[in-house]
Amino acid sequence: MNISGRSKNQSEETGRFFDPSVVARISNLELRARHVVEGLMSGVHRSRARGFSVEFEEHRPYTPGDEFRHIDWKAYGKFDRYLIKQYEDETNLRAHLLVDASGSMDFGDGPMTKWEYAATLAASLGHLLLRQSDAVGLVLSRESDDPFIPAKAVRRHMTALLSTLEAERPGGGTGLARSLIQLAEGLRRRGMVAIFSDLLEDPESVRRALRLIRLKGNDVVVFHILDAEELGFPYEGLARVEDVETDRNMTVECEVVRDPYLQILQEFLDTTRDHCRREGIHYVLLSTAEPLDRALVRFLAWRSKLRM
């Protein structure tokens, strides 16, 4: 696959850009995102597709972060509310990035935790989309009260995305299914929803929520992020295993439980993948040890397939 237009050699040269251990050294999330995207796009022929439309479609309430110039002052005079004029075909794509900020994401033995990996990946994708003048929004999935940043296509919007991601500290229980349903209900237009999560919630709830989003006509891509330790269970001997989100713990003989654990994990992954395939959801399983470009490349390949 040569979606990015890079040769193999180029890929090797730029591979260091996506190595999590290298990326992890960059403390600033924006720099990380740019680092990843620039590395990815360094060999890609730029063909910026614009396609603006100025045909008014509807008003929507003003939310912090919206540019003042988009406020419809006439409507303000009429309704005494700040309303933003929205135009049809304003952007090529309206993408919402849903990043899981539950406690289970704050885990990782490698250079990056799952949260850092997900945030970096989400930022990189947002950067990539904004470069293409696509509108990008952000939802942080918490146990409750999810922060939401509406999708915009201006480059300055990236600052709001990044600051939200950087300010977030994962913790608490998971609320992914609820966040997905909320998002599905909030989306007025079809677009793309990219989910960055370990999906460690009741699988059935998550599947129903994904199905709901998909039924609303959105293109959905799930970046299923797991740590290498979760995928391999490399522990030895006797271990007391504690749940990162609850107080539960148990003592196990690692060698004894490894195979059954991996079997159950594989069943979980297979079931999730199958469900996504059935629902037309693009599913990308990622390990925090994998280079970050893999996800982006697969994302671009998926997008290009959709446009054909």
Partner 1 sequence: MGLQFFHSYMLWGLSLFLLPILIHFLRRRRIQIVRLPTFEFLLRTQRRIARRSQLKNWILLALRISAVSLVAILAARPLLSNQGWAVGSSWSPVLLTLIVDNSASMAYRTGHGTRFDLAKRAAERLIQRLSPQDRVSLWATVAKESGRPPVLGKRAALSRLASIRQSDAAGRPFRTIQEAMSGTAAEVDRRSIIVLSDMARSDWEELRVRGLRRLLPHTRIQFVRVAPESGTQDIAVRDVRLRPWPPRANTPFVVVARIANQGEREREQVRVSLYLEEKKMDEAELNLKDGEEKEVSFRVLAPEGGIFRGRIEASPDKLIPTNLYYFSAEIGRKNRVLVIDGDPRRGLIESESFYISNALRAAPPGGNSPVHVEVAAGYEMGSVDWDRYDLVIACNVGEWPVDAAGLLRRFVERGGGLLWASGSLAARTVPGAGWLPAVPDAPYRMTPPQEAVVPVDSWDHPVFSRMGRNPSRLFSRTRLRRVSPLKSVGNGRVLLTLPDGRAVLVVGRAGAGRVAVWGATCDREWTDIPVRPVFVPFLRGLVDFLGSGAEGTVAGIQTGEPIEVRSKTYQIGEVVQVRSPSGDEETLRLERSPDDDRLRPPASGQKGAEGGAVLARFDGTFRAGFYEIRKPDGLELIAANIPPSEMILASLGDNELRDRLPGIDLTVRSIRADDSEPVGAIEGWMDLGVILFLFLAAILVTEGRVADRS
- Minimum CB–partner distance for residue 173 and partner 1 (Å): 12
Query: Which CB sits closer to partner 1, 198 or 293?
Result: 198
Using rule CB under 8 A, residue 268 touches partner 1? yes
DSSP 83-152: EEEEETTSSS-EEEEEEE-SGGGS--SSSS-HHHHHHHHHHHHHHHHHHTT-EEEEEEE-SS---EEEEE
Instruction: Give the three-class secondary structure for 305.
Output: helix
Q: In angstroms, how far is CA 305 from the centroid of its own chain? A: 19
Binding residue for partner 1 (CB under 8 A) from 12, 204, 255, 270? 255
- Minimum CB–partner distance for residue 246 and partner 1 (Å): 8
Backbone φ and ψ for 193, nearest 5 degrees, come out as -120, 120
- With a CB cutoff of 8 Å and minimum separation 6, the contacts of 167 are none
Binding residue for partner 1 (CB under 8 A) from 71, 75, 239, 285? 239
Using rule CB under 8 A, residue 260 touches partner 1? yes
Number of residues engaging partner 1 in binding (CB under 8 A): 37
What count of other Cβ atoms lies within 10 Å of the Cβ of residue 220? 24
User: What are the Cα distances from residue 53, in Å, to 56, 66, 87?
Assistant: 9, 18, 7
Q: Which of residues 87-126 bind partner 1 (CB under 8 A)?
A: 103-105, 107, 114
Query: Which CB sits closer to partner 1, 219 or 230?
Result: 230
Binding residue for partner 1 (CB under 8 A) from 67, 204, 243, 274? 243
- List residues near partner 1 by CB under 8 A: 103-105, 107, 114, 198, 200, 226-227, 229-230, 235, 237-246, 248, 250-253, 255-261, 264-265, 268
